Amino acid sequence: TQTQSQTQHKQRPQATAEQIRLAQMISDHNDADFEEKVKQV
């Protein structure tokens, strides 16, 4: 459990940046959903 928590903490910022990039490409037509996600972050 400790290892998982550490990995999540370390991968969180990286995943966020990557997810935003992917979301922009994939959710190109889902602008509303993407904007809501960005606001949450």
pTM of the model: 0.31
Dist. CA 1–CA 17, nearest whole Å: 25
Q: Which two structure tokens, joined as six digits, stand for 14?
A: 């990286």
For 6, half-sphere exposure in the C-beta direction (CA atoms, 13 angstrom radius) is 3
Average pLDDT of the residues in 8-23: 69
pLDDT of residue 5: 54
| pLDDT > 70 in the chain, percent | 39
32 has a pLDDT exceeding 60:
yes
3 has a pLDDT exceeding 70:
no
User: What's the Rg (C-alpha) of the chain?
Assistant: 13
Residue 19: other Cβ atoms inside 10 A: 13
Q: Which two structure tokens, joined as six digits, stand for 7?
A: 């990995």
